[in-house]
Structure 1
Amino acid sequence: MSANAPTADSLGNPPPRGDAPATSPEARAQPRSRRRALLLGLLAVLVLGALAWGVRWWLVGRFIESTDDAYLQADSVTVAPKVGGYVAEVLVRDNQVVEAGQPLARLDARQYQAAADEARATVAAREADVARAEADLVQQKANIAQAAAEVTGAQANVRYAASQVDRYAPLVKTGAETEERTAELRNTQTRAATTLAANEAALRAAQVRTGTLQAQIEQARAQLSVAQAAARRAELDLQDTVVRSTLAGRVADRAVRVGQFAQPGTRLLTVVPVQDLYLTANFKETQVGHMRPGQPVTIHVDALPDGALHGSVESLAPGTGAQFALLPPQNATGNFTKIVQRVPVRIHMDIPDSARPALVPGLSVTVDVDTRKHAAQSARAPVAGAAHG
């Protein structure tokens, strides 16, 4: 190496090449100081961020129970006819908004109209039977009055005939009257007594017939009640040919078509009450220990990524989902493997009007339940018990 060759300085920096000016140690230390300050600042930000996250977790996060096993639901109603017949008219479209009581479909009503007309005619005939029986009873009461009057007249004739016999008997003994006259009077007395007996028998018969006519009236009224019930049933069948919605909502899954023969109970369509949506979240059994009705809930709907909804816990199911399955597990047989169970929690939602058009049953939701209130009460309960002790 020649004596004029450049050499490295004491800090190990390569010597300048050519005629480049030499760099001072202070200039070379400035970049390292800036990097060190930047790293220290970044470290401080990370430490502060971790500290803030830890404080928030301690104060809030550890009380928040979250799950994405949650879906919007509504108590939908399947619409089916009560009577059978061919569909004559479909009155709604797919996804149409309907009100409670609004007609949805109309069946062919001709046979039900004929049955209703026949039932009304039968009712009219039974009403006539009742009126005739009541008229017979009124006439029979008049016959009873007539028979009673005849009995009264016959009694008077009997008394008169007896008085005549008593009057002429002394005259016969003295010879003033003949025996023939006495026999004639006794014969008249006997005929009067016979007539009285006949009239009394007729009166009793008329009185007995009154009970018979009264029974006929009751029978006619019972038949009238049967006819009226049949008429009401026929009217209901006629009214049921118009299939109406039992609640307000939107039409979904419309399967009814004109000309289709619908049996009673055949599904025609479904009405979804989208205005009464609620949320069912399936939390793990390890998450519901401090969950109580009334606790606030934050709801993130996948269909609404721009904002969150709010609500409250309405109720917890009385059992896990497995308990109400079609085939519930039988853990007492065979090998057992513990599986974390889930408890359905019903949540009431406060839905703004702007978000309602996008919300329908079945949408996926993420739910955060704030259990701080009950957790704080549970933490203070042992202390209060110890103080009392």
Structure 2
Amino acid sequence: MALNPALKKRLPLIVAGVVGVALIVGGVVWWQGKQRWEATENAFVQADTTEVSPQIDGYVVEVLVADNQRVEAGQVLIRLDDADARANLAQAEAELSALQAGVQNVDARAAQEQAMIASRAAAVSQAQAQADLARQQVARYGALAEKGWVSQQRIETERAGVRTAQASVAEAQAALVAEQRAAGVLGSTRTQSVATVEQARAAVDKARIALERTVIRAPVSGVIGARGVRVGQYVRPGGSILSIVPLGDTYVVANFKETQVGRLRLGQTVEIKADAFKGQPLTGRIESFAPATGSEFALIPVENATGNFTKITQRVPVRIRVERREGAALRPGLSVEVKVDLKSAGTLTFAEAAAAPVQTAAVAGPVAQ
């Protein structure tokens, strides 16, 4: 059917009007979306993966976990051959028992020395009493000799008795001093023996720790990954044998352009979309801003002190906390798309967080269970 000539002339104007209205509506929608959301596709799921390493060397005799198995903190993962560790512990305990017996022997000798000291002290007292009696006898016979009632020979005999008694006192005192010095030597010997016992007890504790370390336990809860250990393998301290991924504590690191981060605030709501979970948007919140751009943490930092410098927009990593009840499905390494709701409540801006880093720790609030 032929078009009306007048309509035919107005058709380009009508099409242009429709296109113009569509552009206006699209522009308004785009502008409103730009005002409401800040988005990026440069985002990835991450988790604080724990690398499990043995603390002692030895042969693996038992592997109690499989790939991709969920484990709880403290669960036994691997057992190493503990024959040497048990022998070392038995030897250390035997040496400790021998040294403790030595201390008991010193204590018994010290008790005996105390008894000897008491005996020597009694002997000194007895000798002093004999000496006092001898001096009294000399004084008494001296008074009688002045009256002529006692011979001079008797006086000399009594005086000799005094000298003998004094010599006995000196001998008893010397014996007492010798016993006291022997007791002092035993005291220093006991101190040395006790120190040796403590050293042996430390050796026992060290051997017991080495035995306990033949059993490798999960330090955190999570899922086993990168299990590279097998029965019969010889492992050494520091070598990674498996990884534990805490899937319930995953988070997203979104790399926003430096022209975008100025509008972001800590605590703002984030909508997360993952290709692996179509139609299942997740929710998160901005937890922190990185202290530098991603290029600063590269193995080979970019050197811009050249004559042919070209300005490239840098990206700042932003950490996003995923709600735990939803984030348990995420796997580290997945790429996601994030959209930050700029109208949601937030606290510190990117600049304020950099100026007051101490206040950024608790802005995200409690994690939802």
Q: Could you tell me the TM-score, scaled by structure 1's length?
A: 0.81
Counterpart-to-counterpart distance in 2, 1:342 and 1:322: 8
- Size of the aligned set, in residue pairs, is 348
Name the SS for the 1:289 alignment partner: helix
Task: From 270, 278, 283, give the equivalent of 1:305.
Answer: 278
Q: Which residue of 2 aligns with 1:131?
A: 104
Task: From 327, 339, 353, give the equivalent of 1:368.
Answer: 339
C-alpha displacement of 1:224: 1.1
Task: From 172, 175, 179, give the equivalent of 1:199.
Answer: 172
- Does residue 111 in structure 1 map to residue 111 in structure 2? no
Counterpart-to-counterpart distance in 1, 2:202 and 2:71: 33
Distance 1:109 1:30, change over 3 A: same
Q: Which residue of 1 aligns with 2:50?
A: 77
Distance 1:330 1:357, change over 3 A: closer
Counterpart-to-counterpart distance in 2, 1:194 and 1:208: 21
Counterpart-to-counterpart distance in 2, 1:350 and 1:56: 29
Q: Which residue of 1 aligns with 2:226?
A: 253
- Does residue 322 in structure 1 map to residue 291 in structure 2? no
Counterpart-to-counterpart distance in 2, 1:58 and 1:334: 38
Distance 1:184 1:33, change over 3 A: farther
Q: Larger Cα Rg: Structure 1 or Structure 2?
A: 1
**Structure 2 unmatched ranges of 5 or more:** 350-369
Greater alpha carbon shift after TM alignment, 356-365 vs 184-193? 356-365
Counterpart-to-counterpart distance in 1, 2:272 and 2:154: 123
C-alpha displacement of 1:220: 1.3
C-alpha displacement of 1:318: 0.4
**AA paired with 2:81?**
D
Q: Which residue of 1 aligns with 2:73?
A: 100
Distance 1:203 1:316, change over 3 A: same
C-alpha displacement of 1:31: 8.9
**AA paired with 1:151?**
V
Determine what percentage of the aligned residue pairs are the same residue. Answer: 43
Asked if structure 2 preserves the Cα contact closer than 8 Å seen for 1:60 and 1:372, the reply is no
Task: From 156, 163, 166, give the equivalent of 2:129.
Answer: 156
Counterpart-to-counterpart distance in 2, 1:294 and 1:187: 107
C-alpha displacement of 1:34: 11
**AA paired with 1:134?**
D
Task: From 184, 188, 193, give the equivalent of 2:161.
Answer: 188
- Does residue 359 in structure 1 map to residue 366 in structure 2? no
C-alpha displacement of 1:51: 4.5
Name the SS for the 1:227 alignment partner: helix
Counterpart-to-counterpart distance in 1, 2:25 and 2:168: 124
Q: Which residue of 2 aligns with 1:350?
A: 323
| CA-atom RMSD in angstroms | 2.9
